[in-house]
Amino acid sequence: MSLDLDLDLQIAAEDRDHPTLQQLERWVVAALSGRRNRAALTIRLVEPSESQALNRQYRGSDRPTNVLSFPFELPPGIDPRDPIHGLIGDLVICSALVRQEASAQGKALEAHWAHLVVHGVLHLIGYDHHSPGQAAEMESLETAILAGLGFPPPYEDQEAMEELETRHD
Annotated binding site: 119, 123, 129
Virtual CA dihedral for 120, 79, 136, 45, nearest 10 degrees? 0
Which parts are annotated binding residues for Zn(2+)? 119, 123, 129
Q: Which long-range contacts (C-beta less than 8 Å, at least 24 apart) are formed by 108-113? A: 108/151, 109/17, 110/19, 110/23, 110/151, 111/146, 111/151, 111/152, 111/154, 112/154, 113/18, 113/19, 113/23, 113/27
Q: How far apart are CA 65 and CA 119, in angstroms?
A: 13
Cβ(160)–Cβ(106) below 8 Å: yes
Task: Give ∠ CA 18-23-28 in degrees, rounded to 5.
Answer: 110
Question: What phi and psi, each to the nearest 5 degrees, are found at residue 60?
Answer: 75, 20
